[in-house]
Structure formats: C-alpha cells, structure tokens
Amino acid sequence: MEKEKKVLVVLGSPRRHGNSAVLAEMIAKGAESAGAQVETVFLHDLEIAPCRSCYACQKPKSRGCAIDDDMQDIYRSMLDAEAWVIASPVFWFTMSAQTKLWMDRCFALSAYAENPFSGKRVAVAMSYGGEDPFDSGCVNALRTFQDAYGYVGAKIVGFVYGSAMDAGAIRENKALMKTAEDLGRQLVNERD
C-alpha cells in the first residue's frame, strides 16, 4: 500500500486570507485532489524568534535548534512532508518578514535529519501590489527561493505569482487560480 503523501503549506503573510494565502489555498486544493494530506501553518500566529547565529544546531551531536519556540513543531512537519508550499506577499522588494524568519531558522533543520532538504519538492506562491514582478521586487524573492533550495538540494517544482492589492482580490484572476491548482497536482505527482 502506498504511503499517503504529505504537503506542508507555510503561509508567510500577516493576512490569513490575503492574496498569497489564496494562491497557496489553490495549490493545496490541487495537491488534495492528487491524494495528498495537506497541513497548513500560519506563521503570523506563531512565536518564531530570529536565528541567534549561536551555531548550536551545527555542533556535533546537536539536539537541534537552541531556541525553544514554535519552530520546533514546524521542523517536525517539514521533515514529515515530502513537499512544501511557501506563500508570501512582497514586502519591500522581497519576501515578508514572517517568511524570512522561518527561512533563516531552517538553518537548524539539518540537526534533525541527515540531508533534510534532499528530495523535498517546493512550490512558491507570491503576490505583489504592483503591475510588474520585476519592479515590485517579486523577482528578488523568487530568486532567493531558487538560490536557497538549489543550494540545499531541494527541487522547486514551480512558482505562481500575481498582482492584487485588496485581500483576496487575486481570486478574480481565474487563469492564475487554475495555474496554482495545477501546480498543486504537479507538486504531488511529479517524480525526479
């Protein structure tokens, strides 16, 4: 019997129903339709401290991150999932502060498993208020994800991004909603 596929959705917006969250919801819908179990974490509601650069997580026989906060539960969820969806609005020409805190703290993930990023599949959803992904800064965030996950051996399956200002307004872009849902199916079904 095939093991149930797990997808972790990381919402990095302070708005629970903002535009990046809508894109992530559509990716999750596609993943569920492909048979995956989806777990969602809303970073803004969690206590996640910035990385202290203490390197406790990198020492021999490390027991993990020295900071005892909500990241401990997220680490377990990240390791359990075979795929991750990262959703963030553009804040000041890159990802949100919530998303960046989470990403910085992923440095400690290697203390919990050997090669924890290897084989993980990632989808990224971004929203921005401008008309252009370049001058809005969206491309800066996308490049950060691309570089980081390429470096650690995870595979970015795809990106979805679009422009909308008011919370949830991105739903009006039906083509983008379909693209996001298709990405969710691809995230679950694609094999290396």
Q: Where are the domains of the chain?
A: 6-189
Say what the pLDDT of residue 9 is.
98
Say what the pLDDT of residue 192 is.
52
Q: Is the pLDDT of residue 23 over 60?
A: yes
Q: List CB contacts of 8: < 8 A, sequence separation 6 or more.
A: 38, 39, 40, 41, 77, 78, 80, 81, 83, 84, 85
Separation CA 126–CA 29 (nearest Å): 17
Say what the pLDDT of residue 133 is.
86
Say what the pLDDT of residue 4 is.
79
Q: What is the pLDDT of residues 25-80, one digit of tens each?
A: 999 999 999 999 999 999 999 999 999 999 999 999 898 999 999 999 999 999 99
Q: Which fold has domain 6-189?
A: Rossmann fold (3.40.50)
* End-to-end C-alpha distance for the chain, whole angstroms: 21
Helix (H) or strand (E) holding 87: strand 83-89
- Predicted structure pTM score: 0.94
Q: What is the pLDDT of residues 83-96, one digit of tens each?
A: 999 999 999 999 99
